[in-house]
Structure 1
Amino acid sequence: MVGIGRKKFFSKKNCTNIHDVYANALKLTKSNTIPQDSTNSTNKLDELDDKLDELDAKLDESDVKLDENELEVRMYLWYFNQCDNKRCTGKKLVRSGLVKELPMTQRFSGIILTPLANTLFSLNDAETVKNKGIAVIDCSWNKINQTPLNSFQTKYNNLMVGNSRILPFLVAGNPTHFGKPFELSCAEALASALYISNMRSNAMEVLSVFNWGPTFIQLNQEAFDLYSSKGFTSEDMVKIQEQYLNEQQAKSNQQKSINSIDYQNITDNIT
């Protein structure tokens, strides 16, 4: 997935607990916006134009077929080759056999997780995920301005119409972007959609490939519980997300008040 602002972010080693993580994430949420599209196209994508018509004739109506040895939920990614292969969670999932890489011109009618979407992922999308699968766009959060996502989505709009989704507020648990709102790795994005869809065993199987997987769930457990029980539509998700952020802000303010209390002074006055 791709990134939001370019501020100096807070690192895992400076974090003492979940309250600290969320306090910093909330600050970043206020000072940044959900990812916007990049308008620059590249020659590489433009060269695919001539191949589209030829490829469309060959593509299956049912798009991508399920192999017998794949997960119950079919998962895919488009890879922009911007990440370190050793650290790329998407590539690691491909190597593990849980996810398949799609060519840039592959027809796909399942749910596509992309920061360019205007519709929040919700329980309404769970059936499509079960029947047609889910895919993620794998590119670097640090190279959003160099990634022709807008061009890519516009070019393949006919192949993906109506299925693009963006995830609600969640905090990254991976070491590279720990504590940052929205900046999830591909593995976290796929697992989040599955978890919200109440396909938790599938979500945990994705995260089991990474030793930080349980941390991601722990950081977002409360949010996941809300999204997966009340987020039936995108409109519901917008309201729940706002409610959740307000509640977290109130908790953060309360924690600040508690931390500011001079207990030594109180003790001295009592004695």
Structure 2
Amino acid sequence: MELHVRYEGDDDPEKCSARKLARFDLASLHRSARGTPHGIVLDPYADRALSPADAEEAPHGRLIALDCSWETAEAEAFRLDGPHRSLPFLVAANPVNYGTPFRLNTVEAFAGALCILGYRHRAEELLGKFRWGHTFLELNEEPLRRYANCSDSTDVIDVQSGYLDQ
């Protein structure tokens, strides 16, 4: 699965997980929407949740993440081509948003998506580049396993509802 990032560059370069992934040649950065290839767009505002069923529909085997400030994410995501999917309930492990639900950085979004789509080994590879990376998988072990066993987006939302009700 190819990983691509629509990169805005409006965050601290020292804390940017997308830039670190690019340095290790694990993801490609793109400075414009036009230059970003077609793929499943990880969009926190999408109406449909990512599910294992999307693995079969992944255009060209690509995941696209948006790396920008949370204030501009909604507007920027609309400019990207491909099916838009939101990630279900997951908790951040990165030092900036530790313990905050739905506030994942780019590598956490990729890792969560890869686990749901059946590429856990690849998620572990990405997170292995960050000293806190294993914590993301530990914090989200049960939900990631349950989401990966769902058949479609509706099932993922049902599982997520159980976590949000707690």
Instruction: Determine the C-alpha separation between the residues in 1 that align with 2:58 and 2:2.
Output: 8
Corresponding position: 1:112 with 2:41: yes
Instruction: Determine the C-alpha separation between the residues in 2 that align with 1:96 and 1:87.
Output: 15
Tell me the CA shift for residue 102 of structure 1.
1.9
Tell me the CA shift for residue 234 of structure 1.
1.2
Instruction: Determine the C-alpha separation between the residues in 1 that align with 2:14 and 2:120.
Output: 26
What is the aligned partner in structure 2 of residue 205 from structure 1? 125
Tell me the CA shift for residue 210 of structure 1.
0.3
Tell me the CA shift for residue 148 of structure 1.
6.4
What is the aligned partner in structure 2 of residue 189 from structure 1? 109
Matches within 5 A, 1:95-110: 95-104=23-32, 105-106=34-35, 108-110=37-39
Instruction: Determine the C-alpha separation between the residues in 1 that align with 2:131 and 2:121.
Output: 16
What is the aligned partner in structure 1 of residue 92 from structure 2? 172
Q: Note if contact 1:227-1:237 (Cα within 8 Å) is conserved in structure 2.
A: yes
Structure number with the higher helix fraction is 1
What is the aligned partner in structure 2 of residue 240 from structure 1? 159
Give ranges in structure 2 of 5+ residues lacking alignment. Answer: none
**Local SS of the residue matching 2:136:** helix
**Local SS of the residue matching 1:119:** coil
Corresponding position: 1:224 with 2:144: yes
**Identity among equivalent pairs (%):** 36
What is the aligned partner in structure 2 of residue 42 from structure 1? none
Q: Note if contact 1:122-1:237 (Cα within 8 Å) is conserved in structure 2.
A: yes
TM-score (norm 2): 0.92
Distance 1:228 1:213, change over 3 A: same
Q: Deviations over 1:6-52 (max 9, x none)?
A: xxxxxxxxxxxxxxxxxxxxxxxxxxxxxxxxxxxxxxxxxxxxxxx
Structure number with the higher strand fraction is 2
Instruction: Determine the C-alpha separation between the residues in 1 that align with 2:62 and 2:55.
Output: 9
Larger deviation, residues 127-136 vs 177-186: 127-136
Instruction: Determine the C-alpha separation between the residues in 2 that align with 1:133 and 1:227.
Output: 20
Which of 68, 75, 83 aligns to 2:3? It is 75
Instruction: Determine the C-alpha separation between the residues in 2 that align with 1:107 and 1:135.
Output: 8
Aligned residues: 165
Aligned Cα RMSD in Å?
Answer: 1.7
TM-score (norm 1): 0.57
Could you tell me which amino acid in structure 2 is paired with residue 109 of structure 1? Answer: H
Give ranges in structure 1 of 5+ residues lacking alignment. Answer: 1-72, 250-271
Instruction: Determine the C-alpha separation between the residues in 1 that align with 2:58 and 2:137.
Output: 20
Tell me the CA shift for residue 110 of structure 1.
1.2
Instruction: Determine the C-alpha separation between the residues in 1 that align with 2:73 and 2:138.
Output: 34
Larger radius of gyration: 1
Instruction: Determine the C-alpha separation between the residues in 2 that align with 1:245 and 1:116.
Output: 17
Instruction: Determine the C-alpha separation between the residues in 2 that align with 1:103 and 1:81.
Output: 8
